[in-house]
Amino acid sequence: YELPLRLVGSEMCIRDSKHGADGQVCGQTYIDLYRLDKNKQEYKIQAIKECVDNLIANPQESIDDWWWVDSYFMAMPLFSKLGDLYKDNVYFERMHAMHTYSKARWKLYDETDHIWFRDSTQVPARSLSPNKKKVCWSRGNGWAVAACVRVLNDLPADHSYRVEYVQLLTEMAAALKACQREDGFWNRNLADPEHLAGPETSGTALFVYGLSWGINHGVLDREFYLCLLYTSPSPRDVEES
């Protein structure tokens, strides 16, 4: 991974993405690779760190960056990974501030049903399914679940924000348990099984990832949630679907 880590991870993926989660997401992988590198040559992740440091140094410019649910998965864990790597709480603080602001301004998280809307155009006031129900995209919710467990994986056990993210994961897990299909998949629209009816594989895979992490780390009750994984499709089922 030497050449990609040095050239892509440190420069190309960040060069035009100072305020774009799409270009920042690969930084998570390069930080993971950096951790595996016994030489720990910091210049290989320098541009990634500089990008996030710039977001922290210019809070008014970056506060509105996470306006769609995918961005939580793409960008939030980048902050938490840097916070864990450098043992610097400023990354956790800024990550939480941006997350809280986005939830409040764009109202992406349904506080009643505990599922997510893709962006502000998908909230009930602006978009409903043909059956007049909410539109809660399966894969988008998968991104949110995966982002939450990645952040929890990095947050110190005694961090003040940990309780909030644990609560978020448990709320989402309960919502997912309630809307899983009999065949183990989840629907495209979690709020309306008849809207674009049929199994959705990418959301299902992300849910299984997040639920598995929660069970294995004692965040989710094993007895209560393990049944979701047993009824979830096998890789072959997903491929055939």
**Beta carbons of 98 and 72 less than 8 angstroms apart:** no
**Beta carbons of 78 and 28 less than 8 angstroms apart:** yes
What pLDDT, on the 0 to 100 scale, is given for residue 2? Answer: 53
**Beta carbons of 138 and 186 less than 8 angstroms apart:** yes
pLDDT, tens digit, 9 for 90 and up, residues 145-175: 999 999 999 999 999 999 999 999 999 999 9
What pLDDT, on the 0 to 100 scale, is given for residue 9? Answer: 45
Mean pLDDT of the chain: 89
**Beta carbons of 194 and 131 less than 8 angstroms apart:** yes
Cα–Cα distances (Å) from 69 to 44, 124, 186, in that order, read: 29, 16, 18
- What pLDDT band is residue 11 in, cutting at 50, 70 and 90? low
- What pLDDT band is residue 241 in, cutting at 50, 70 and 90? very low
What pLDDT, on the 0 to 100 scale, is given for residue 1? Answer: 44
Distance, C-alpha 172 to centroid of its chain: 12
Distance CA 4, CA 44 (A): 10
pLDDT, tens digit, 9 for 90 and up, residues 185-202: 999 999 999 999 999 999
Q: Please tell me the least confidently modeled range out of 8-12, 29-33, 166-170, 204-208.
A: 8-12
* Residue located via tokens 């690969």: 26
What pLDDT, on the 0 to 100 scale, is given for residue 44? Answer: 84
Length reported for the chain: 241
Rounded to a whole number, what is the distance in angstroms from the first to the last CA of the chain?
33
pLDDT, tens digit, 9 for 90 and up, residues 73-92: 999 999 999 999 999 999 99
- Helix/strand/coil percentages in the chain, nearest 5: 65, 5, 30
Give the gyration radius of the chain's Cα atoms: 18
The whole-model pTM stands at: 0.90
**Residue 90, both tokens:** 């400023």
